[in-house]
Structure 1
């Protein structure tokens, strides 16, 4: 736990930034989390928008440019909530200005950018963490425990999906902003699979099959990817920016299976036996918004002098970015910024 709450600045004033502002305010009023972080500033490219955001969420400082935020020595951690195409440049600028960073998923556009960002983190000694919130949630450890204690026997297959109709959002369908389903929602089922299977240190992907349907702007509209691991486990990830899906994650074993309701923010874990009878329904602990876990993890890592969070270390971020690159390479999909 840090000696004092860290000052968090939010870079970008969109919808996800609003959720982080809500989270930081709730943390500041919560007995458990008030020691970790507090809302300090909002940075936008427009002073009026920054002022309105600050007034709405009770944030003390509002910057009309990103440069103003970089010059403020009171900023400890910057939460980067801009489109994917801007993440690498902004994260590097923040760390070189002496700020720690929490970067929204997808961490960067590609693994090459991710590698450069991580190198700057190591050079500056500043924390750099990927804000894929499911990696930090208690549900992760709960699912892993059920898998490791043999509740469903030996794992044979995994399935996960996440889809939302989001074609009305310009950043989602714009190739210049690295839009598309994969980098926006597809990262969640792929990360669910990676967490469920134990990560790259335990298993290697022996083969991959993938296909996608493009949107009229050229980004991926929906896709499916099947991963075949070297120990025989098979995993299927599906995502779409056109459809509404059940968002379930399923882990199938020799003695039963787990159904994890909503891979984007697991609400409960249902355990089934060989006869398909529900044996247990395990609720997930109540949360403020779900973002508090990643913020608290960053504050703890900063207090410990670390440049990465144990929940999502740099090696895991790089492994997942390389997988995303590999998938897009199979599709022949490149962004203008690459």
Structure 2
């Protein structure tokens, strides 16, 4: 069975953090505690906010705007952690400055914006990757190898959901605000959609039904993806309930049950039709360090994308989510 590489063995790289919000703190803790990399700069439209972040993680350079952050000569790679609505602009800013870029998921608002970012990175010759950290976690690396060796036969079914109880957030919060590309899909549903893409590839059929919030973003969506004659993925996401957040992969010879939260470091059990079973469990602190290590390794090797989540993989996920949003009736301002 294949195992994830130890993030501490990856080469060092110097990170600049663009937008020091909650997810940037998660990234910073993982990088500083579990990799050889350094965080050398942080940028925010609020210099005070950037300074507070820098003090917490001993970051030497503080920038009160994003332009000076990406121009900082000490920065090798920029982690874009702003709201989805800003990803395109901020990724392009970093790419134009010649920086390697890790863009938080969802990569952009839509596939057209994603294509702009990919085209720019390819033209500039810099590394670019979507921060879909789940694909690099030990249990997912192991799970893929179990499927590849045929432990459960042919995969015919993937079930996955991600719901959180965020209904109480104010209408101005990024999750409910259409101006900030809010909604369940881009923030939560991207996990099960990307998981299905990872295991099954690009679907040839997409069906979705959803309910909107009073602000006009998606509050809840049920998704069916079809692959060929009989393989399907049944996915669900919601802002209104803390769901089980588990996943089940069904095959002709058995199934794999992935424990909660399937998108975080967790365990899984392989249960075969003959009644035999075994479990995978590995204690992991954090989790973001695996994607950060992937960036460092690929950059050191002179590569511009990761085979684990290629540019085309990201674009395919964005196309699927565009179609899901089209079917449930969610359009963001300016699209």
| TM-score of the alignment, normalized to the shorter chain, above 0.5 | yes
8 Å CA contact retained: 1:259, 1:269:
yes
Q: CA deviation at 1:255?
A: 2.2
Give SS of 2:49's match: helix
**Alpha-carbon separation, structure 2, partners of 1:142 and 1:152:** 14
Query: Corresponding residue for 1:179?
Result: 182
RMSD: 1.7
1:298-320 superposed Cα distances (whole Å, 9 cap, x missing partner): 11111122111121110100111
Give SS of 1:263's match: coil
Q: CA deviation at 1:3?
A: 9.7
Q: CA deviation at 1:83?
A: 0.3
Query: Corresponding residue for 1:223?
Result: 221
8 Å CA contact retained: 2:211, 2:328:
no
Q: Pairwise mapping of residues 133-212 of structure 1 onto structure 2 (< 5 A)?
A: 133-167=133-167, 168=169, 170-197=173-200, 199-200=201-202, 205-212=203-210
1:244-267 superposed Cα distances (whole Å, 9 cap, x missing partner): 111111011222211011222140
**Alpha-carbon separation, structure 2, partners of 1:104 and 1:259:** 27
Q: CA deviation at 1:273?
A: 2.8
Q: CA deviation at 1:148?
A: 2.4
Query: Corresponding residue for 2:292?
Result: 295
1:207-230 superposed Cα distances (whole Å, 9 cap, x missing partner): 222100111111000110001111
Q: CA deviation at 1:2?
A: 9.8
Query: Corresponding residue for 1:258?
Result: 256
Q: Pairwise mapping of residues 1-338 of structure 1 onto structure 2 (< 5 A)?
A: 5-27=12-34, 33-34=35-36, 37-167=37-167, 168=169, 170-197=173-200, 199-200=201-202, 205-261=203-259, 262-274=261-273, 277=275, 279-284=277-282, 286-338=283-335
1:44-99 superposed Cα distances (whole Å, 9 cap, x missing partner): 11111111111122211111111221221111100000000000011011111111
8 Å CA contact retained: 1:140, 1:195:
no
**Alpha-carbon separation, structure 1, partners of 2:79 and 2:325:** 27
**Alpha-carbon separation, structure 2, partners of 1:81 and 1:145:** 31
**Alpha-carbon separation, structure 2, partners of 1:310 and 1:228:** 24
Query: Corresponding residue for 2:3?
Result: none
Query: For residues 55 and 145 of structure 1, do their structure 2 counterparts lie closer, same or farther at Cα, with a shift above 3 Å needed?
Result: same
Deviates more, 1:301-310 or 1:125-134: 301-310
8 Å CA contact retained: 2:218, 2:328:
no
8 Å CA contact retained: 2:139, 2:281:
no
8 Å CA contact retained: 1:2, 1:300:
no
Query: For residues 241 and 278 of structure 1, do their structure 2 counterparts lie closer, same or farther at Cα, with a shift above 3 Å needed?
Result: farther
8 Å CA contact retained: 2:268, 2:279:
yes
8 Å CA contact retained: 1:26, 1:288:
no
Q: How many residues align?
A: 324
8 Å CA contact retained: 2:206, 2:320:
no
1:114-146 superposed Cα distances (whole Å, 9 cap, x missing partner): 111001101111111100101122222211222
8 Å CA contact retained: 1:85, 1:337:
no
8 Å CA contact retained: 2:220, 2:238:
yes
Could you state the TM-score of these two structures normalised by the residue count of structure 1? 0.92
8 Å CA contact retained: 1:260, 1:266:
no
In structure 2, runs of 5+ residues without a counterpart are: 1-7
8 Å CA contact retained: 2:178, 2:333:
yes
8 Å CA contact retained: 1:260, 1:270:
yes
In structure 1, runs of 5+ residues without a counterpart are: 28-32
**Alpha-carbon separation, structure 2, partners of 1:158 and 1:96:** 39
